[in-house]
Amino acid sequence: MSELVKVEIIDRIQIITINRPQARNAINYETAQELAAVLDQMDANEDVVIGILTGAEGTFSSGMDLKAFAQSGQRPLVEGRGFAGLCERPPRKPVIAAVEGYALAGGFEMALSCDMIVAANNANFGLPEVKRGIVAGAGGMMRLPSRIPYHIAMEAVLTGEMLPAARMHGYGLVNRLVEPGQALEVALELARIVAGNGPLAVQTAKKIVTESRDWRQADMFDLQRPRVAHIFASADAKEGATAFAEKRKPVWRGK
C-alpha cells in the first residue's frame, strides 16, 4: 500500500483514512483501488469486527478527483465495487463514516454507503454534481431519498447546494453530531460498543437489515429464517448465554 490510504487497527476496529489532503481527499483511480483492497482485508481479518472510514486533515472527501478525470477521463471505479471500491458493494462488516469538513459528491455517496455517520457540527454534505453537468451516479440519487424526506433529498440532488450536518442530524441521517475535531473519537466510542458484540451476529444483523428492505412483508420471515439459523446454532450464541448466566464478559470466537 502507498500513503493514499492509511490503516490502523485499535480494539478490533479498523480505521481507514483517505490520505490526499492536498486534494481535499478526492478519490482518483489509484485511491479507489487501494480502498477496495483495504476493505477486502477488513472483511477477511477475523480480528476486526467493524471499520471506520475518515479523511485526513479535517476533510472527509470532496468526491471524484475532477482534475484527474479532466486529464485522463478515467473514473475512480473498481469492477464489481463501484466508486471508491465501496459504493456499489459495501463490505460485509459494518463501517462508520467519521465526517469532518466536507463530504461532497462521491464523498457524500461514500458516507451514504456506510452504516452509521458521526459528523462534526460544522461539517457539510452535498451532491453538487449537477453544477458540473453530471449526476450523483455512485448511489446518491438512490440512497438519499430513503434516508431523509423526499423533498429534502430532491433539494440536495437538483440544486447541488450543501446541507449542514446539523440539518442532516435533524433528519436522522447523522447518528452523532459532535464538536469539530471529535468525529473520529466519537466514532471510535460507537465502534467499541459494536466491537464488544458477537462478530458473527454483527455481520448477520447488517446483512439482514440491508437485504430485507427489498423483501415483501408476506415473505420476510421465510427469507430471514435460513439467514439466521446458523446464529442460534453457533458457539458464540452458547457463549453469550453462558457469559450472561455467569455474569462475565463473553469471549467471542466468531463461530
Annotated active-site positions, please?
A: 109, 129
- Going by their DSSP bridges, the two strands 77-78 and 82-83 should be labelled as antiparallel
Residue 90 corresponds to which amino acid? Answer: P
| Residues whose CB falls within 8 Å of the CB of residue 163, separated by 6 or more in sequence, listed in order | 124, 125, 126, 152, 155, 156
- From CA 175, how far away is CA 172, in angstroms rounded? 7
Nearest residue to 94 via CA among 192, 206, 204: 206
In order of 23, 79, 113, the CA distances from 89 in angstroms are 25, 10, 9
What SS3 state is found at 194? helix
Backbone angles phi, psi at 19, to 5 degrees: -120, 65
- Going by their DSSP bridges, the two strands 176-178 and 116-120 should be labelled as parallel
- Give, in degrees to the nearest 5, the angle at Cα 155 between 154 and 161: 135
| Phi-psi label, residue 229: left if phi above 0, alpha if psi -120 to 50, beta otherwise | alpha
- Cβ burial, residue 208 (10 Å; 0-12/13-18/19+): middle
C-alpha cell at 79: 469492477
